[in-house]
Amino acid sequence: MFKNNCLKFILLSLSFICLNVSAQKDIDTKVQKLLKKMTLEEKIGQMVQLNGFWDFTGPAPKDGDGAKWKYDALKSGKVGSVLNVRGVKNVRQLQEMVVNESRLGIPLIFGFDVIHGHKTVFPIPLAESASWDLDAMENAARIAAIEASAEGLNWTFAPMVDISRDARWGRVMEGAGEDPYLASEVAKARVKGFQGKDLSDDNTLAACAKHFVGYGFAESGKDYNAVDVGTSTLYNVLLPPFQACIDANVRTFMNAFNTLNGIPATGDDFLQRDILKGKWNFDGFVVSDWGSISEMQAHGFAKDLKDAGIIAANAGCDMDMESYAYVGHLKEAVEEGTVAEALIDDAAARILKVKFELGLFDDPYKYCDTKKEKELLYHPDHKKAALDMAKKSIVLLKNEGNLLPLDKKQKNIAIIGALADEDNSPLGNWRLGTDNNTAVSFLEGFKKYTDNYSYEKGVDIFLKAEDFLHEVEVNNTDKSGIDAAVALAKKSEVVIMVLGEHGYQSGEGRSRANLDLPGLQKKMLKEVYKVNKNIILVLMNGRPLTIDWEAENIPAILETWQLGTESGNAIAETLFGDNIPGGKLTMTFPRTEGQVPIYYNYLNTGRPGPIDLVFWSHYTDETNAPLYPFGYGLSYTDFAYDNMKVVNNGNNIQVSVNVKNTGNYDGSEVVQLYIRDKVASVSRPVKELKGFEKIFLKKGENKTVNFTLTEKELGFYNNRGDFVVEPGDFDVMVGTSSLEGLSDSFEWK
């Protein structure tokens, strides 16, 4: 019976692989056939992507985004893609124009930043990653794709898989944190979610691994800044999540704004040709970041826009997003021989291939169904999934004296903080697809449980300009709300302070040099603390904050990030114990900005200390330890680890541990496995995550969790970029965070 089933499975898999190979061959043949019919200008046209914030229904304005030349370019097949056009009516209209009026009728591919949900907004990706729940993250991306494709879109610029160790960088909100192993798993889940089972289905989006590569290592955390990394970090930390996307068959890549070791990533042939399209054999296409080809002039790498276009095309950047370098100069470059026509053919073929895979040639309007659009956007099932994801993303940082969960009959509660009344900020920064003010605010969620509360806004954290394009202005002077907040706290039994960053304070261009609670919030918190110490701090933020005073003094702290559409409901359920928090940080929280960059998988140095003398690797005015480490997060219940076993099978290592729920609630735990390769030809980190499992245990229940370590987990990339597995001694630790666990060791022969 078992044998029969095995045979069936193998035959089925083989026939699936054969079908796939033949479908791919079929597509390649079609692409080559089409390519032969195309003029040079039409091929270059496929490599051009234009922004679509223009009213193409009415008469074309004379300049700006609505310039007439754009219409002419679209109609004459000189544009392969647009971004920021969505809605079935708009997409259909533009697609019809291009398909009907251009000579070969090649459909456009419509791109958009579908980052964490679309209409229904999910938690910011950093928050989602704190769930360590890969199925939930895949499902979140799936739903985002269902909604976005119902609006006519077929390509998302996600997932962002940049690793970052620097919370000053505003885009940490868009990634999966600091660890390459976890980020790789998350990357695969998100790609699968967006692309679905078969890209040609009508509810899929081609995904895009971005930003290739190094963007999250911007020097001093300042967005767009130069990146300098050594080979070991490049191969072992930055590249793996991108390679994981390839494993998940991601169809597109986006290069990056930054220079990597002096070369702008957009013009780097080592990255795009040698690694991505060479070593990794990537057969999809690479799009530039917004204007990043043109920016190579400012980098001092290209002398003019034409030069920039030549460099980018030669380096392997297949599509130009909004630099106008390809549409303006590439034909001339080919004619004069500075770009080989074979490279144009290759780029156009890659783009056409993805369009074929999406099924756009079979039916350019397959994503244009108004009935579906009406039915699927904000679908109640999507909200349910967003609530589930939001609940899983919450991290309990502190809970002294079990202040949480709140008793549902608790009287006399004070709620303080402008963010408590926000139905916009919890949507985060990347929510271009949704409507403003569509999140359930903290207060709305809370009200569903009790009306035994009073609310004071306290200090304003923003004065104006709360939008995507402008910076949020922080109130650093108007203290007028503090008195009322203090007065309310004085007469209340419990105070819930809802503080943090506005959704628009993290994200692109939102680097911060100070990681404190912005504005006067901390001052207000300290004033309130003077009259009432029974405080639950609910944090809403897009990045780790330096909350050392809060961690020292405030008894309960709940990290709720920006949780999306269902934010208020998820938080209320958690405060009142209908959701037991189980999230774990995926980015280290520093005590002070001076510790940044800070991360758990650092190298030991030659002087790890501590020793009595000053000559070891440390600060004289601050400890080395983070405030909260990677992998950290509490629960309302407790988990005990014991009976760790390590069995060396020669070709793999089996590690098992028993985990018991010893507390008073059913709850989930993320069991984490870390290794340390003690001696290697390249120094290895003091700890590296190499496995995790999220388990759910009823109170009193226990479970044995098993891990298998193979060459894949035990090896690393040497400085030539080769993956090597070296014999020697390893430490292994299994536990509840990167800091705490049971440990053992083994020898790999």
Structure tokens at 638: 């407790």
Which residue in 289, 318, 388, 677 is the catalytic one?
Answer: 289
CB of 113 to ligand BGC, least distance (A): 5
Q: Which is nearer to ligand BGC, 157 or 628 (CB)?
A: 157
Q: Residue 235 interacts with ligand BGC (CB under 6 A)?
A: no
Among 508, 573, 669, 688, which residue sits at the site for ligand BGC (rule: CB under 6 A)? 508
CB of 170 to ligand BGC, least distance (A): 11
Greatest C-alpha distance within the chain: 80
CA dihedral 192, 198, 202, 206 (to 10 degrees): 50
Q: Residue 455 interacts with ligand BGC (CB under 6 A)?
A: no
CB of 290 to ligand BGC, least distance (A): 4
DSSP 360: T
Q: Residue 677 interacts with ligand BGC (CB under 6 A)?
A: no
Active site residue 289: yes
Q: Which is nearer to ligand BGC, 82 or 482 (CB)?
A: 82
Residue closest to 745 by CA, chosen among 610, 653, 670, 658: 653
Q: Which is nearer to ligand BGC, 289 or 566 (CB)?
A: 289
Q: Residue 144 and residue 121: Cα distance in Å, rounded?
A: 8
Q: Residue 147 interacts with ligand BGC (CB under 6 A)?
A: no
Total residues in contact with ligand BGC, by rule CB under 6 A: 6
Q: Which is nearer to ligand BGC, 290 or 599 (CB)?
A: 290
266, 293 contact by CB (below 8 A) = yes
Among 118, 210, 251, 591, which residue sits at the site for ligand BGC (rule: CB under 6 A)? 210
DSSP 207: -
Q: Residue 212 interacts with ligand BGC (CB under 6 A)?
A: no
Q: Residue 280 and residue 250: Cα distance in Å, rounded?
A: 12
At which residue do the structure tokens 């060791």 appear? 745
Q: Which is nearer to ligand BGC, 430 or 446 (CB)?
A: 430
Structure tokens at 255: 């290069």
CB of 210 to ligand BGC, least distance (A): 6
CB of 149 to ligand BGC, least distance (A): 18
Q: Residue 320 interacts with ligand BGC (CB under 6 A)?
A: no
First to last CA, the chain: 38
Q: Which of residues 80-139 bind ligand BGC (CB under 6 A)?
A: 113
Peptide bond into 364 cis (omega under 30): no
Count the helix, strand and coil residues of the chain and give each as a percent rounded to the nearest 5: 35, 20, 45
Q: Residue 295 interacts with ligand BGC (CB under 6 A)?
A: no
Q: Which of residues 264-293 bind ligand BGC (CB under 6 A)?
A: 289-290
Q: Which is nearer to ligand BGC, 508 or 688 (CB)?
A: 508
Alpha carbon of 464 to those of 32, 420, 472, 518, 680: distances in Å?
A: 54, 18, 7, 15, 54
Among 157, 217, 529, 630, which residue sits at the site for ligand BGC (rule: CB under 6 A)? 157
- Range 470-478, long-range pairs (CB < 8 A, 24+ positions): 471/504, 471/509, 471/510, 472/502, 472/504, 472/505, 474/518, 474/519, 475/519, 475/520, 476/519, 476/520, 477/520, 478/520
Residue closest to 626 by CA, chosen among 570, 732, 551: 551
CB of 630 to ligand BGC, least distance (A): 25
CB of 508 to ligand BGC, least distance (A): 6
Q: Which is nearer to ligand BGC, 223 or 548 (CB)?
A: 223
> Which of the residues are catalytic?
289
Which residues bind to ligand BGC, rule: CB under 6 A?
Answer: 113, 157, 210, 289-290, 508
